[in-house]
Amino acid sequence: MNLQELKNKTILLFGKSRAFSKEEFDSQMQYHGIGITKEYDESVAFVVDGRMMTPYEQNKSAELYESKELTFVKMEELESALAKAIDEDTLLMSLKLSHDRERLKVFILNSMLSDRLFFRLLKMYSWGSEDFFENDDNRDVSAAFISRFYENIERNHNVQYSTTGFIHLIAQTKNSELLQEISTLRPLQLHPKIEIAIAMSDYCDTKLQERLFKKGTATLLEGLSLNKNLKRGFVEEFLKEKALSSNVARSLKLNSELFELLEPNLTDLALNESLTLPMQEELFAYKQKEVYQALSYNNSLDVSIIQSLLALDDREVQEALYSNSSTPVEILEEAYKDEKNHEALAQNESTPIDILYQLQLDSRYERFVKTNAGYGKHIQTQNIGWL
């Protein structure tokens, strides 16, 4: 929408604005030279349906729409155009000089503003020493942050009123900038688990990793050691400490150079799901029981390695493989013929659904089946509820 088309014209507004407060909406319309009226007359050029329309307004809007004499404009389109036309620097300077906390919050809550402007406004907001949801203002701002970036918020709208919403955002996002913005929120100091989640994220970029590393807390270093895209310099640093080197060997996205560097951590390395087939074959060739067992729990095994492990005739290795989602269906179907494999199969999300149906009829395995991700996904897909 081009606001110039509305300049020096009058719109008939039914209801209220959505994204802007009434005061801010009126101010923006006045700035752009657009008149507003609540009653129809010959000066009206456009009609806008807003929120909270009265029954009278709804009827009048329908009547005017049927007459086809006026152009109707969606409130979302109008507010989006107003938001795009905002001069960011002028707005920020105005807010800075006025110290108007309420007006600042109104803009932060405006979902029509760009993410860039949202982040700039957020940097001006003072959280005080209180938590995300400890007072009304912080709660509103936190909810606005979560709802702006949370995927499918309409399916889980209550999450915006909980600190777990930030954890969900971190798990969902592939946006390094968003992680950076979350990491700077003052109340984060009250929630070390959120910062750890950022450190573990695949999309925690090198710059953010370096900042978190400099903090040097044990929990943050542990979180970073589980990051599969860990900066190379940190890999070598973490190898000096046993627990951290174990995490790195299990988690790091491997290439041939890193595989060689981490090879002293054989058992942990065998659990790494980025192992290529040649890497898996090399580990298998060590002929160590602990390595065999670790490989059998790896959910990205090649079928040739699975077959080689099964041929060892090691009961612990077999049980792990029968609960391993990378094991081919035909092997799982064959394993079902032996009752001693049923518990492992009940826990495997790759077990065919018809076998899971059979296993859930047995009280010994019912709990495992009902917590099986594959079974749950099938039930949700079919929309038939829990049995």
Residue 386 has pLDDT above 70, yes or no: no
Does some domain include residue 61? Answer: yes
pLDDT of residue 73: 87
The answer to whether the beta carbons of residues 327 and 348 sit under 8 Å apart is: yes
Q: What is the pTM of this model?
A: 0.81
pLDDT of residue 51: 87
Domain count, the chain: 1
What is the rounded average pLDDT for all residues in the chain? 93
Does some domain include residue 330? Answer: no
Does some domain include residue 126? Answer: no
Does some domain include residue 295? Answer: no
The answer to whether the beta carbons of residues 296 and 324 sit under 8 Å apart is: yes
Does some domain include residue 225? Answer: no
CA 313-319-324 angle, 5° bins:
115
Per the structure block, which two tokens stand in for 384?
Answer: 């038939």
pLDDT of residue 387: 45
Residue 274 has pLDDT above 70, yes or no: yes
The pLDDT-based confidence of 1 (bands split at 50, 70, 90) is confident
Residue 265 has pLDDT above 90, yes or no: yes
Amino acid 23 reads: E
Q: How far is CA 244 from CA 103, 248, 264, 275, in A?
A: 47, 6, 14, 19
Mean pLDDT of 144-161: 88
Does some domain include residue 145? Answer: no
Per the structure block, which two tokens stand in for 19?
Answer: 């994204």
Per the structure block, which two tokens stand in for 139?
Answer: 């709660």
CA 343 to chain centre: 33
pLDDT of residue 294: 98
Does some domain include residue 361? Answer: no
Residue with tokens 């049927």: 66
pLDDT of residue 383: 53
Per the structure block, which two tokens stand in for 53?
Answer: 């329309």
Q: For the segment 119-134, what is each residue's pLDDT rounded down to a tens digit?
A: 999 999 999 999 999 9
pLDDT of residue 385: 47
Which CATH number is 35's domain given? 3.40.50.10190
pLDDT of residue 122: 96
Mean pLDDT of 196-206: 96
Residue 214 has pLDDT above 90, yes or no: yes
Q: What whole-number distance in Å separates Cα of residue 1 and Cα of residue 21? A: 20
Mean pLDDT of 179-193: 95
Give the domain extent around 76: 3-84
Does some domain include residue 8? Answer: yes
Q: What percent of the chain has pLDDT over 90?
A: 83
The pLDDT-based confidence of 163 (bands split at 50, 70, 90) is very high
Q: For the segment 292-328, what is each residue's pLDDT rounded down to a tens digit?
A: 999 999 999 999 999 999 999 999 999 999 999 999 9
Per the structure block, which two tokens stand in for 150?
Answer: 């949370």
Per the structure block, which two tokens stand in for 99?
Answer: 């110290």
The answer to whether the beta carbons of residues 282 and 272 sit under 8 Å apart is: no
